């Protein structure tokens, strides 16, 4: 009996290895890598989408922009070229959801500070009050890493159009008042092709963990 097993030992090992390879291949076929959706305006609550875009079903991307960060540098879409980034809307004197959102952005910054492919972008919704010096003061207080995270101000209409027509993150077009943009708590995940790949509640710790996981999924897509 021992001689029988000795004779066929290598054949048995070969069959075992072959079986393991076949099982792995079948598993990969039946369990493809997760991919994130590409969000189009028609997939988002109409309350958050400009009426001119509510029926758009494809090709939606973040439009070109020209804003100014906490250092007074001009920030355009070129800064985020070939980068994955997380965007949101806030204002520095907000006492409700914004401090929580900023704390969560800081957590993302800390976890991904050494990953050059991931950047952050926060737009003020009261640009007349959130000047460059005010944003700089806020950035220093919070520990913003300039190379990682831009806090931007600029033309009010441009920012509001971005919120409403690009990032799909505003519940109002604005009526001209100083605090008239009703922005959401959403963090928006944008891929290297300037497409929206996810929305996350910036006040919810579990949503932030989901966002970090989805960033890794998005990075794997690029590979």
Which residues make up each annotated binding site for Cu cation?
94, 98, 183
Residue 80, helix vs strand vs coil: helix
Which residues, in sequence order, are bridge partners of residue 87?
Answer: 121, 188
Angle of helix 98-111 relative to helix 205-222, nearest 10 degrees, comes to: 40
Which residues, in sequence order, are bridge partners of residue 120?
Answer: 86, 149
Known binding-site positions: 94, 98, 183
Are 37 and 197 in contact, with CB atoms under 8 Å apart?
yes
Q: Give the C-alpha separation, 68 to 190, whole Å.
A: 20
- 112: number of Cβ within 10 Å: 18
């Amino acid at each position: 009996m021992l001689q029988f097993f000795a004779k066929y030992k290598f054949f048995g090992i070969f069959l075992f290895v072959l079986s393991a390879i076949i099982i792995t291949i079948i598993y990969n076929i039946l369990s493809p890598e997760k991919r994130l959706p590409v969000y189009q305006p028609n997939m988002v609550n109409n309350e958050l989408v400009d009426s001119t875009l509510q029926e758009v079903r494809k090709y939606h991307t973040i439009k070109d922009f020209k804003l100014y960060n906490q250092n007074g540098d001009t920030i355009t879409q070129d800064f985020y070229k070939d980068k994955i980034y997380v965007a949101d809307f806030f204002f520095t004197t907000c006492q409700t959801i914004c401090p929580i959102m900023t704390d969560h952005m800081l957590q993302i910054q800390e976890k991904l500070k050494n990953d050059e492919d991931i950047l952050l972008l926060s737009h003020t919704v009261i640009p007349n009050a959130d000047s460059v010096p005010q944003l700089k003061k806020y950035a220093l207080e919070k520990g913003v890493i300039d190379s990682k995270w831009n806090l931007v101000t600029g033309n009010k209409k441009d920012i509001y159009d971005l919120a409403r027509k690009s990032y799909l993150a505003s519940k109002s077009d604005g009526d001209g008042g100083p605090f008239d943009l009703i922005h959401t708590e959403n963090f928006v995940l944008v891929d290297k092709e300037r497409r929206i790949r996810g929305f996350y509640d910036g006040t919810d710790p579990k949503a932030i963990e989901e966002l970090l996981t989805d960033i890794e999924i998005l990075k794997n897509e690029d590979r």
